[in-house]
Amino acid sequence: MIMKTLNGHDRLSEMTDRRSTDLIIQNDSNALVYLIHGVTGTPVEMRYLARGLARRGGDVYATTLPGHCTSLRELLKTNEQQWCEHVGKQLAYAREHYEHVYVAGLSAGALLALEASTRVAVDGVGVLSPTFFYDGWNMPRHGDAILSTVLKLVPECLQHVVFHIDGPPYGVKDSMIQAHIRASYTPKSVFHEWVSLWWEGHSSEAVGNGADPSPAASKGYPLFPLRTLRDLDRLMNRVRSCLEKVSAPTLILQATNDDMTGPRNAQFVYDEIASTQKQIVLLNDCYHVITVDRQRQAVVTHLKEFFKLSTSVPEAIQVAS
């Protein structure tokens, strides 16, 4: 989707590795905010934030990570190295075309934002619900140790058929959003996504007559294959090793009552990065996916103020496909 103000200069149409599912909002600004969704998520989870920041004066580009918005089979063809390379290349393009470049990511996207900031000069980093420790209230006790043990016990050749099913509250406290996600992640859709992992002739997007389409393009994947959790573990280790190189101004936002990754994650980032300008903001009345939950407007406000985006942008936005 492309959203741009009237007469806006379409600088982002030539973005490297651009996908049709990327969200672009242009205001003819000299500042770009580059947004990164979480692993197994989609740019849709960044849409409210993108629109909010665009109204404050910046151009916005919400990327689609490799392997996302398609099928789990395609996701499993990618890994953390490809996600990092994708973000790095697109940020390098942005750096060449904008006077100011900011990057913000959600969950694993926050880790990708931190890592990319050590390779591409950015003016600010937004770290939203960072994921280094699975210590939220809805996670099993000693979840990190359990995952480490399972990764050692299950051979890599079988890690694509062992999975974790994403269940309530799906990272959100808002009951209406929960219900919407639950309606998409029906047992039928979960089953078809799982079957597609090991049956090459099966398509989760067209499963015979009357079958429900995959919700991947708008809701993300209902399953976390063990192989993807392995890639996330490698991403965490990769980013841990480079946090001391992060020097850009950094704002860290996390829910006090995060169901997946508790505030310990925010404090870990704050303590490890080298940035002299850094801040933690803890949000109440929301869970992990803070960009869509009850405090999504607070996320917009905090990032807008930290990135020092102007407010002299017309409200009317033209939408084009």
180 or 108, greater pLDDT: 108
Q: What is the pLDDT of residues 188-205, one digit of tens each?
A: 665 565 555 555 544 444
- Bridge partners for 127 per DSSP: 105, 252
**CATH number, residue 198:** 3.40.50.1820
- Cα distance between residue 84 and residue 55, in whole Å: 29
The pLDDT assigned to 219 comes to: 55
Residue 122 backbone dihedrals phi, psi, to 5 degrees: -125, 160
Domain hosting residue 200, numbered range? 2-320
Cα dihedral 135, 139, 142, 143 sign: negative
The pLDDT assigned to 306 comes to: 96
Work out how many domains the chain is built from and give that number.
Answer: 1
| Residue 224 banded pLDDT, cuts 50, 70, 90 | confident
